[in-house]
Amino acid sequence: MLDAPARYRCTVCRDRGWIVSRAPDDGLDSGSARPCDCRGRQRGERLLEETGIPERYRQCTLENFLVADGGVAGEELVRARATCQSYVEGFLASDGTFCQSGLLFVGRVGVGKTHLAVAVLRELVRRFGLPGRFVDFTTLVHRMQVSFDPTSEESRRQLLDPLGSVDVLVLDELGAQKPTPFVRDLLYLIVNTRYARRLPTLFTTNFALEAPSARPQRSLDRAADPPDDAAIAVTLEQRIGAPLLSRLFEMARPVLLDSVRDYRREIRMHQLRT
């Protein structure tokens, strides 16, 4: 009876995960078995499923990250993508150990921070077969609060343990929640656990690293700008506190995307002039 090949996801090993070859001559012991390539692929796919990357970011890669042409913002996008690429390339050191530090993406809403963080996470999971996790901070805080309800099915430990132990973590929207003592304690626990275990974390935040007055003026037109949006006028330090911020700098390299809002304005100015 003929097998219908379409029924197998892998037609090479017919989903057995092993390729068995029998020696041409004789004997029952002369065969050999080796793992099929699909085992690695399936593991990668399963690990990607387990990351919890939201649907809208599932397809994010470094290749499909759009970098605008020209201008300060365009250069910043190109630089940010290049930083991510070299981070991935250098993640496995020549002595066989993985990188212990992470990245901190800084910029306004909608500039591509999460895209880049997810793209790096996916690449590390796929390339090195490492378990990874994506969590956005607002959702995490909400789930933590729900977990205090005695009828909750999810315990604090079930929520937090994976975040402290997973090989690569994306912590999206750092500082997005009001900095209550509860929120700060939660953040401190995750960050310190990962720091102590030397596990890399990719953070994103809408909050600035420096107060607006401390940032250099990029052009004379800037004086005519509408006031900065609320998020970027508040610093990350104000949101999460100085001790935690200095810990972040010890464990993650900043990737700045804070000119990117200017980019659209520059395009508009350019169109007006020409």
Six token digits for residue 120: 């790096």
For residue 5, the minimal CB distance to Zn ion (Å) is: 12
> Which one, 10 or 144, has the nearer CB to Zn ion?
10
For residue 2, the minimal CB distance to Zn ion (Å) is: 19
Q: Bridge-partner residues for 104, per DSSP?
A: 203, 254
Which among 155, 270, 243, 260 is positioned nearest to 208, based on CA atoms? 260
> Which one, 8 or 195, has the nearer CB to Zn ion?
8
Of 8, 10, 79, 234, the one binding Zn ion by CB under 5 A: 10
> Which one, 36 or 124, has the nearer CB to Zn ion?
36
Using rule CB under 5 A, residue 13 touches Zn ion:
yes
Q: Bridge-partner residues for 19, per DSSP?
A: 34
> Which one, 34 or 198, has the nearer CB to Zn ion?
34
Cα(244)–Cα(87) distance, integer angstroms: 23
> Which one, 40 or 52, has the nearer CB to Zn ion?
40
> Which one, 12 or 233, has the nearer CB to Zn ion?
12
Which residue matches tokens 């496995």? 92
Of 2, 4, 5, 12, the one binding Zn ion by CB under 5 A: 12
Of the candidate spans 10-18, 94-102, 187-195, 259-267, the one that interacts with Zn ion by CB under 5 A turns out to be 10-18
For residue 126, the minimal CB distance to Zn ion (Å) is: 17
Which among 41, 84, 115, 108 is positioned nearest to 200, based on CA atoms? 84
> Which residues have a Cβ under 8 Å from the Cβ of 7 and sit 6 or more positions away?
none
For residue 127, the minimal CB distance to Zn ion (Å) is: 20
Q: Which positions from 26 to 65 touch Zn ion by CB under 5 A, shown as an x/- string?
A: ----------x-x---------------------------
> Which residues have a Cβ under 8 Å from the Cβ of 219 and sit 6 or more positions away?
none
Show contacts with Zn ion in window 135-164 (CB under 5 A): none
For residue 38, the minimal CB distance to Zn ion (Å) is: 3
Using rule CB under 5 A, residue 8 touches Zn ion:
no
Cα(134)–Cα(205) distance, integer angstroms: 14
User: DSSP secondary-structure letter at 216?
Assistant: P
Which among 270, 223, 237, 264 is positioned nearest to 109, based on CA atoms? 264
Six token digits for residue 59: 């397809």
> Which one, 40 or 54, has the nearer CB to Zn ion?
40
Cα(66)–Cα(60) distance, integer angstroms: 11
For residue 36, the minimal CB distance to Zn ion (Å) is: 3
Q: What is the binding site for Zn ion (CB under 5 A)?
A: 10, 12-13, 36, 38
